[in-house]
Chains A and B, each alone.
Chain A
Amino acid sequence: MESSTYPDKKFIASSQNYVNVAVHNGSGHGTKEIRVGREIKEVCKLYGNLNSFVTCNDHNSINAGQIPGANKVRGVPALIILDPTGKEILHQSAGGKSASGLIKIFDEVLKESKLSPVPLSLFQRAKGIRAAAEAKFEEGKYKDAIRAYNMLAKTKGPKAMKELAESWMDEGLAKCDAVGQGMLDKVETLWASEEASDKKEAKKILKDVYRNFKYLACYKKAKEMKKRIK
């Protein structure tokens, strides 16, 4: 299945309506390199690809005991399908499946359970934007981070997906605002000093907040402070 069913293009498309977990005892698959932006990731030769950065260690060490129905697996290959809460829907032990056979099962389960999953592409896009924003935040490039977090507001898809993206955005913007507020506290301290160099530094930091933290609460506060600190 690993070398015939899973690489099948129709199966790959069908699998995007599912969350996929490989429990594979064995680590002799070798590795390959996948380039993601500027980063190169070393992944399992069998299960790694642009949508999956799984290593042999990952698929070998998944705690199968936590997975509902795992105790009933008597032979491999085995297949378990669970609903989004983790409740068992289908269990088939010992039997490989062709791509078309597995697609048929996938389609039937979706139809019977009346599920309309958020497409993988939408989920991955939102995750990618969040990761980009986080990276910029870590680099201290707050203007870029804020722009990226704000992009999450444009996430398309079902209500649950939009709500999740908005919660990521709110969380990220709050983090940026906290940095800006901290900088403004420093401005107040420096401005209260008698030293000319401190006052100069205060003005510089205030300008930074005003320029880079648009339109967060700290930006509005910086705008007010600029009237006083000249």
Chain B
Amino acid sequence: MKHLSLLALLFATAPMAWANGGDENGVAWTATWEEALEEAKIRNAPIHVSYHKDG
């Protein structure tokens, strides 16, 4: 019972691919530079910055 409620808790908050278009997995872009730098330090991961513009 305890395990079931924990599973329910995780399912309620985890991304659910089956509820979307099915092709929604993609590159994890961060929303801000501060967020990127913090995550990079935690994960010991390099940062990829890509510059684009419309047109």
Residues in B neighbouring A4, C-beta threshold 8 A = none
Comparing A57-65, A186-194, A196-204, A205-213, the segment that makes contact with chain B is A57-65
Q: DSSP class of B's interface residues: helix, strand, loop or mixed?
A: mixed
Which of A113-121, A175-183, A221-229 binds B?
A: A113-121
- Can you give 18 A-B contacts (C-beta < 8 A)? A6-B26, A16-B28, A19-B40, A20-B36, A21-B50, A24-B54, A35-B16, A37-B13, A37-B15, A50-B24, A52-B27, A106-B48, A110-B46, A115-B46, A117-B46, A118-B45, A128-B10, A160-B42
**Chain B residues packing against A (C-beta within 8 Å):** 2, 5-6, 9-17, 19-20, 24-33, 36-37, 39-55
Contact B9 A132 (CB under 8 A): yes
Per CB-CB distance, the 6 closest pairs between chain A and chain B, nearest first, are A26-B54, A49-B26, A117-B45, A51-B28, A78-B51, A118-B43
Please state if A18 and B48 are interface contacts (CB–CB under 8 Å): yes
* Contact yes or no, A18 B47, CB < 8 A: yes
CB distance from A149 to the nearest CB of B (A): 11
- Whether A15 contacts B55 by the Cβ 8 Å rule is no
Is the CB–CB distance between B9 and A120 below 8 Å?
Answer: no
Contact of A52 among B14, B28, B42 (CB under 8 A): B28
Q: A18-B46, A52-B26, A84-B47 are in contact. Are A23 and B36 (CB under 8 A)?
A: no
B12 to nearest A CB, angstroms? 5
* Interface contact A115-B2, CB-CB below 8 Å: no
- Which A residues are closer than 8 A to B by beta carbons? 1-2, 6-7, 11-12, 15-28, 34-38, 47, 49-55, 58-59, 62-64, 66-67, 69-70, 73, 76-86, 89, 106, 109-110, 113, 115-118, 120, 123-124, 128-129, 131-132, 135-136, 144, 147-148, 151, 158, 160-161, 164
CA distance A67 to B9 in the complex (A): 37
Which of chain B's residues have a CB closer than 8 A to the CB of A37?
11-16
Please determine whether B46 and A151 come into contact, CB atoms closer than 8 angstroms.
Answer: no
Whether the pair B13, A6 counts as a contact (CB closer than 8 A) is no
CA distance A63 to B45 in the complex (A): 21
Report A7 CB to chain B, min CB distance, Å.
Answer: 6
